[in-house]
Structure 1
Amino acid sequence: MDLKQLTALVTVSDAGSVTKAARLLHVVQPAVSRYIRSLEEEFGVRLFERTRLGMTLTPEGEVLVERARRALVELERARAEIRSDRGQVQGVVTIGLLESTVDILAGPLLESVGRQYPGIDLRLLSAFSGHLQQWLDDGAVDMSLLYNLASTPSISVTPLLREPLWAVTPPDVALDEAVTWSQVTQQPLVLPVIGHGLRFLIDQALATASVDAMVACQTNSTLVQKRLVASGEAWSVLPAAGVVADIASGRLGGGPLTAPEISRTIVLGLQRGGRRPPAAEAVATEIVRVTRRLVEDGAWPTARVLGLTGMVSGRRVRPVKRLRTGTSAETS
């Protein structure tokens, strides 16, 4: 087994065909076929099902592709670190972002890391908290934003902020300063699917308020939630970070929920143990700094910074002032 074989395996998996993979790798098609065939002979199993529609991974192939992808990423990181200039932090760092934080955090984080650490190859992946935690456990990301999670034997956690959930409405709906759950449940709702962490918080609030929701649709996509609300089909419930730009532009309406007020806690999770590259340490510290600055500047509305100081990878983070917000009944 060599790097060319592993690269061919991952590329065929991503491209779905040997022909496309050969084009991407700038090699002839028979060479790619030979790499795949030699791997199958070495492991004694079929890695792909060959069909008229292309190449589909077998269960054994899925296992090997996952490991091969991780090995290639680690080698790429090692290459960047070994070749780095003296005194310059370089390397590949992959971050998991909660889908609801992408609009508010991705741009400022990219700008800050790019300005201070131009040698870092930053990669951003977004998903819901459950998927991100699995990726972190599996090593697919170096660090991830998660919510309502305490430290575990495999993940160390740095609390970042707490923010309440908001009612999200079509743009022409006039709201009071605070919206009760009773008001929200008078409308059809588009909510996250059952089992999603945010849905757990919503269901808990509904039970506390002793009201039932008219669920018109369940989805695993924040974008779908917002589009259905914008079209006037339903209302929804989302963290403020996921809708602040839409509300400011007039695409959506919304406001903080009360009676009861429920909030989520966002933390930065990193894997425990093992050597943490300097690039990962630098990015982890920047995530804390940028997140707290967004809260301090009011760009992350209604959020409250958690902790006066924090430690990320042994580096002390500058404290920032707390913003005044209402009390919250955090659940975890």
Structure 2
Amino acid sequence: MDFRQLKYFVGVVDAGSFTKAAANLNVAQSALSLHVRQMEEGFGTQLLIRDRTGVTLTAAGTKLLHHAHIILRQASLAEEELSNKKKSPSGEVTIGIPSGAARVMVTELLALAKERLPKVSLKIVEGMSGPIEEWMTAGRFNLAILYRTSESPGSSTVLAREELCLIVPPNQPPFESSIRLADLHAYPLAVPMRVNNVRRSVADVVSQHGCTIDVRFEVDSLSTIISMVMDGKAYSILAPSAIQREASLGEVRIVRIVDPVITRTVVLAVNPRDERSIEVAAVRALVPEVVQKLAQDGKWRAILPEPEPAL
């Protein structure tokens, strides 16, 4: 059986003859006869009694008509439900976001999702970048904000690029607006564990340029690292997004690292199994919009990707 044959069968029964059904369905009468005959051959039983006045159902045809109405109705309901879902997505979407990015974008993302996607339940999982990446690889999230080196964004959507900076306690002696990479060794650092993207990015650049850094504390908690810097117990290397609030209040200071600048790319990754999910696609479309607005409003010190050239 296929839906077309069922539809033709019901059409013939409703019309009472092949001639009328052919006109109603805009199908050649010979094609209708062929499809019904193929159904009868497939079932091994006669479905319709044909005579000069039209058609009547056999006992088997009556049973099939009952099931055909149910099947076609369910197919119609499924099509209607999926069409409506595309227009108004609904369901649950889980997105993993590293703590630094979460501090600047979660509130804006939730507000926009509530406005644009009222039937979508958006669940945010926040953590350090290393675990977020591992959990995404394990399939825990539908979407995830991840960090990559500028040269390897992969197949993910590039959202922005940001520089890593030296984070300085507020009451330390005056600093210039920037510090050379080679001079970082003088400052005891509190940094995330080695699986963290910040730690890997800094280690790679330091190694490439033959420099050293003084990693005094390894802490997998952004709030604890920030507190240690605020209390003057350590320095740190973080993205400005992670401490933008504290910097605006004068609780820490941001010093650019130069010669060279250490950059990373912020990307949005989607779980391969959710590529065709309507609700995931809807949330996926909101994230770049949120990042762009935050950057343009000065709430996220990040460099937006160049727009695609017009074709």
- Return the TM-score normalized by structure 1: 0.63
Deviations 1:91-145 (A, max 9, x none): 1110010111111011111111111111111100012333223322332110001
Cα drift, residue 214 of structure 1: 2.2
Q: Which residue number corresponds to residue 57 of structure 2?
A: none
Query: Is the aligned partner of 1:169 residue 2:168?
Result: yes
Q: 1:198 and 1:132 mapped to 2: Cα distance? A: 13
The residue correspondences of 1:232-243 to structure 2 (distance < 5 A) are 232-243=232-243
Report the secondary structure of 2:276's partner residue.
coil
Give the partner amino acid of 2:171: D
The 8 Å contact of residues 172 and 253 in structure 1, kept in 2 or not, is answered as: no
Structure 2, unpaired ranges of 5+: 1-80
- Tell me the residue number matched to 2:249: 249
The corresponding residue for 1:283 is 283
Q: Which residue of 1 aligns with 2:51?
A: none
Aligned to 2:128: 128
In structure 2, how many angstroms separate the alpha carbons of the residues matched to 1:201 and 1:275?
29
- Of all paired residues, the percent bearing the same amino acid is 23
d(CA) in 1 for partners of 2:108 and 2:275? 27
Which SS does the other structure have where 1:189 is aligned? strand
Counterparts of 1:190 and 1:169, CA distance in 2: 11
Q: Equivalent residue for 2:68?
A: none
Distance 2:86 2:265 in 1: 38
Equivalent residues of 2:142, 2:274 under 8 A apart:
no
For 2:148, the aligned partner's letter is N
> Which residues in structure 2 correspond to 1:311-330 (within 5 Å)?
none
8 Å Cα contact 2:144-2:269 kept in structure 1: yes
Computed over aligned residues only, the root mean square deviation of the Cα atoms, in angstroms, reads: 2.5
Q: Which position in structure 1 is the counterpart of 2:146?
A: 146
**1:81-92 matched pairs, under 5 angstroms:** 87-92=87-92
After superposition, the C-alpha distances for 1:54-98 in whole angstroms (9 at most, x for unaligned) are xxxxxxxxxxxxxxxxxxxxxxxxxxx88x879422111100101
* CA 1:274–1:211: 2 relative to 1, 3 Å: closer
For 1:250 and 1:182, how far apart are their aligned partners in 2? Answer: 26
Q: 2: distance between equivalents of 1:261 and 1:86?
A: 44
Q: Distance in 2 between matches of 1:191 and 1:151?
A: 24
Could you say what secondary structure the match of 1:304 adopts? coil
- Aligned residue number for residue 197 of structure 2: 197
- Indicate yes or no: 2:106 matched with 1:106: yes
Q: Secondary structure at the match of 2:145?
A: strand
Partner Cα separation in structure 2 for residue 134 and residue 116 of structure 1: 30
**Paired AA for residue 165 in structure 1:** L
Post-superposition CA distance 1:175-234 (Å, at most 9, x none): 222122344321211112223221121122333453322222111111111111111011
Q: Are the aligned partners of 1:100 and 1:222 in contact in 2 as well (CA < 8 Å)?
A: yes
The residue type paired with residue 245 of structure 2 is: A
* Separation (CA, whole Å) in 2 of partners of 1:85 and 1:147: 32
Structure 1 111/241 Cα, relative in aligned 2: closer, same or farther at 3 Å?
same
How far, CA to CA, are the matches of 2:214 and 2:271 in structure 1? 40
Alpha-carbon separation, structure 2, partners of 1:236 and 1:151:
25
What corresponds to 1:119 in structure 2? Answer: 119
Which structure exhibits the higher relative contact order, with contacts defined as CA atoms closer than 8 Å and separated by 6 or more residues?
2
| Equivalent pairs, count | 227
Q: How many angstroms apart in 1 are the aligned matches of 2:186 and 2:153?
A: 38
Are 2:86 and 2:278, in contact at CA under 8 Å, matched by a contact in 1? Answer: no
CA distance 1:183–1:172, change in 2 (3 Å): farther
Q: Which has the higher helix share?
A: 2
Q: Please give the residue correspondences for 1:178-217 in structure 2 after superposition, counting only pairs within 5 Å.
A: 178-217=178-217
Instruction: Report if the CA contact (8 A) 1:208-1:260 is conserved.
Output: no
The correspondence of residues 15-26 of structure 1 with structure 2, limited to 5 A, is none
Contact 1:209 1:259 in 2 (8 A): no
TM-score, normalisation: structure 2 = 0.67
Structure 2 residue matching 1:257: 3-state secondary structure: strand
Provide the secondary structure at the position in 1 that maps to 2:159.
strand
Q: Which moved more, 1:124-133 or 1:99-108?
A: 124-133
What is the alpha-carbon distance in structure 2 between the residues aligned to residue 259 and residue 220 of structure 1?
A: 28
Correspondence list, 1:293-304, <5 A: 293-301=293-301, 303-304=302-303
